[in-house]
Amino acid sequence: MSTSTVDRLRSLLAPGAGPSGPRSLSGWGRTNPTVAEVESVSPSGLADVVARAGERGALVRGLGRSYGDAAQNAGGLVVTLDDVGSPAVVDHTAGTVTVPAGRSLDALLRELVPAGWFVPVTPGTRFVTVGGAIASDIHGKNHHVDGSFGEHVMSLRLLTADGSVLDLGPDSDVFWATIGGMGLTGVILDATIRLLRIETSRMSVDTTRIPDLDTLFASMSEGDERFRYSVAWIDLMATGRQLGRSVLTRGDHATLDRLDVAAAASPLDYGPRQLVDIPPIVPPMGVLNRATVGAFNELWFRKSPRRRVGELQTIANYFHPLDLVGSWNRLYGARGMVQYQFVVPFGEEGALREVIERLSESGVTSFLAVLKRFGAASRAPLSFPFPGWTLALDVPSASGGLAELLHGLDRLVLDAGGRHYFAKDACTTREAVRRGYPRLDEWKAVRERVDPTGRWQSDLGRRLGLLD
């Protein structure tokens, strides 16, 4: 489903709209749509198009998988890059790939995996561009071992506001301002990235059913370092002694000696497919409510094994299970969903417990709640992860009292020394950003130097005070 799915995602930036002209755009959460002038251009024509941007500035948009308004620019220009067909160039000796920024991870993986390589970091979906991965400094199940995506970028080329192209590496402060900079320093044209060598396209996965939150904290703290990848699904509707009951899955890339004879004949076979597509006609309030989510969570927990070791799974099933369902965000109805993700330092488990207690007591209908442990922070001033616990959850936007609930959680997170993730955000405040990102002024100084006229803008940048 790769090429056709990516093409469809690009065409669905605004339903019914052509490739250029005024269009209504929203994030994957389908909340807070705004109208911008959209133009689809090749990288060679990008500088000329951006030069025509008015006072509301310009922004490059990838596949629209940021949940909130990160890839929107109300009243301004939004550019999509249509030249994504150039092949990735793999240096098999150095273990690197040089790839256009508009290439999706889905397309890249279809080239890399059969050749025995894997991307250093992947989020929960393959349908993000390389440029978006860098601009959001994405993280995955392996952050406690390998850090975030930007730590594996060896160099990148950046189109700046004056039309010049900078060749940047880790010795440049503009490089680190671009990583995690949400597209507000310029347009990433391409990048060279370190890769991970793999022997097979399978994962060896251990699954454990966890009865409560204390057991989960202990299990992850004591065992995560033995695995490259680790994530826990949490039942946020469980209360009392079952608070925080979870399914913990940890694993690594399977070696060749783990495969049976049939699988060993094509150990790097890789071709993920979409199983079903959610139709555009869904009840206005969606199909996810307290009853349906409660039933799903109970089934998911009960069907998971108490303990299973070394199960072989495909890369797609382990890393990208939601990609099996096309347009799954439609399940939340016309008003969409809010994804809320934060990190709090190790030692602040009490704050994390209180957040989970409030969510459970509120009856929030989230069936996508995951907990991970972060490792060392990136050198990028606006990178989200730092050593601690991160919780991410999806909540229907139609949930009653949602804004009040989430702003209350904001205070708990910030008082514990935590912060929120820009690529997921739809409702965090300027105050939260100022408190959560102590290097914000450092980033702003670099941005103002590389973009003194304020050419690069976004709805998220204005809402959170990144452009002030």
**Higher-pLDDT residue of 269, 303:** 269
pLDDT at 214 over 60: yes
**What band does 301 get if pLDDT is binned at 50, 70 and 90?**
confident
**Higher-pLDDT residue of 46, 198:** 198
pLDDT at 286 over 70: no
Encode pLDDT of 332-358 as tens digits: 888 889 999 999 999 999 999 999 999
d(CA 464, CA 468) in angstroms, rounded, equals 9
Encode pLDDT of 15-68 as tens digits: 333 457 899 999 999 999 999 999 998 888 899 999 989 999 999 999 999 999
Strand 34-41 with 77-81, pairing: parallel
Domains and CATH numbers, the chain: 2-81 (3.30.43), 89-198 (3.30.465.10), 202-434 (3.30.70.2520)
Across-strand partners of 233?
Answer: 247, 370
Residue 391 C-alpha from the chain's centroid? 13
pLDDT at 295 over 80: no
SS (H, E, C) 9-48: HHHCCCCCCCCCEEEEECCCCCCCCEEEEEEEECHHHHHH
Q: What is the pLDDT, as a whole number, of residue 17?
A: 38
Ramachandran sector of residue 310 (left: φ over 0; alpha: ψ -120 to 50; beta: rest): left
Q: What is the pLDDT, as a whole number, of residue 84?
A: 58
**Higher-pLDDT residue of 46, 418:** 418
Helix ranges, 342-419 (H)? 349-362, 402-415
- pTM of the model as a whole: 0.93
